[in-house]
């Protein structure tokens, strides 16, 4: 008897003439079976790699995200979240300045829920380690995340604490040698059901796919762009194309470069510089520009600013008025 999951592999694997894209419903159904453990290991590998070669459509990504969101066990009394922030890439050329962007917004009253992964590669700095250097612990559960949101308007919850199965799919990259669609899907989890999401991509074209998938899901407010290292962090050295959803309407804005020449790679990647910049103990023109311009993109997505210039001015004002004791209170 044919395995119930086999038809989905057949859709993808019947060759150039026989294969086709899945519908959003088919993508959701197949991913639900995967998340429920209703597939064989050989089927899972074949499915993920066929999708990797083909590359997922917006409808497929929306279906995958829908099933993945439904797999999360988020308490019904979880507090409202203003901004969802995905962090799954890690940084290797510049420090994760975007963390200060998120904390800047949180320090001015926005509740920010960040989710992502821990160390996957020795040559990258990942969000949990950078947060630890700021005196902020990652959350072990949604209950702890809710508590941190109430206390400081910010929380980070790792993927493996939200859903270990999704983390397993990310870890399969070491076995398969290639990323799978799950590396894109986890960016769209939005576990706190925030009305606004910010995410960065690395591979060309995925910004448009994320934008279209979010619209199919009914996510009305979004900013997605090619971020530094693949994180949701604007590189101020280069022009940045930001794809937006504002109240459900698709827009694309080009944010101009802030510097005339590129900055050198940060060879030391000393995460203590994050706290030092926040406190005003050091100057770093690249770091500060990355913090403010990334916060500005988030403000634009949140509908707090009607233009690029207004968003950048508001971010600069937030920075000038920041509470330097908001973070790092336990550091010496």
Consecutive 10-residue runs of the chain (332 residues): their mean pLDDT?
Answer: 95 91 98 97 95 95 98 96 97 97 98 91 90 96 97 97 96 90 96 98 94 98 97 98 98 97 94 96 97 98 98 98 81 42
pLDDT of residue 122: 75
pLDDT of 204: 87
pLDDT score at 331: 46
User: Would you state the structure tokens that stand for residue 136, as one six-digit string?
Assistant: 């902020």
Position 328 scores a pLDDT of: 67
Question: By three-state DSSP, how is residue 245 classified?
Answer: strand
E-strand spans in the chain? 83-87, 112-116, 154-158, 197-201, 222-226, 240-246, 249-255
Structural domains of the chain, ranges and CATH numbers in brackets:
6-54 (no CATH), 83-320 (3.40.1030.10)
In b/e form, how buried is each residue of 271-301, taking b as 16+ CB within 10 angstroms? bebbbbbbeeeeebebbbbbbbbbbbbbbbb
Q: How far is the C-alpha of 44 from the C-alpha of 182, rounded, in Å?
A: 12
Residue-level pLDDT at 168:
95
Give the whole-angstrom CA distance, residue 188 versus residue 169. 15
pLDDT for residue 119: 72
Q: How far is 168 from 148, CA to CA, in rounded Å?
A: 26
DSSP string, 53-71: HH---HHHHHHHHHHHHHT
């Amino acid at each position: 008897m044919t395995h119930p999951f086999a038809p989905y592999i057949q859709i993808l694997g019947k060759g150039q003439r026989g294969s086709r894209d899945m519908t959003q419903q088919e993508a959701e159904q197949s991913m639900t079976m995967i998340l429920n453990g209703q597939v064989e290991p050989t089927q899972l590998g074949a499915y993920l790699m066929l999708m990797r070669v083909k590359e997922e459509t917006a409808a497929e990504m929306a279906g995958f995200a829908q099933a993945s969101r439904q797999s999360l066990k988020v308490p019904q009394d979880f507090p409202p979240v203003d901004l969802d922030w995905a962090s799954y890439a890690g940084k290797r050329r510049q420090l994760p300045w975007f963390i200060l962007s998120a904390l800047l917004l949180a320090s001015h009253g926005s509740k920010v829920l960040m989710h992502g992964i821990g160390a996957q590669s020795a040559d990258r700095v990942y969000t949990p380690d950078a947060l630890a250097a700021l005196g902020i612990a990652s959350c072990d559960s949604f209950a702890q995340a809710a508590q941190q949101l109430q206390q400081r308007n910010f929380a980070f919850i790792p993927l493996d604490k939200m859903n270990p199965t999704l983390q397993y799919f990310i870890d399969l990259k070491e076995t398969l040698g290639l990323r799978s669609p799950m590396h894109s899907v986890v960016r769209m989890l939005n576990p706190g059901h925030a009305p606004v999401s910010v995410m960065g991509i690395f591979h060309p074209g995925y910004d448009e796919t994320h934008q279209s998938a979010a619209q199919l899901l009914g996510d009305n407010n979004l900013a997605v762009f090619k971020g530094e290292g693949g994180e949701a962090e604007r590189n101020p050295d280069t022009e940045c194309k930001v794809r937006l959803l504002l109240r459900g309407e698709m827009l694309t804005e080009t944010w101009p470069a802030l510097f005339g020449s590129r900055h050198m790679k940060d060879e030391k990647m000393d995460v203590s510089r994050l706290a030092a910049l926040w406190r005003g103990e050091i100057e770093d023109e690249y770091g500060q520009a990355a913090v403010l311009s990334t916060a500005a993109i988030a403000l634009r997505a949140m509908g707090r600013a009607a233009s690029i210039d207004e968003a950048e001015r508001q971010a600069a004002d937030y920075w000038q008025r920041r509470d330097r004791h908001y973070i790092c209170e336990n550091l010496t």
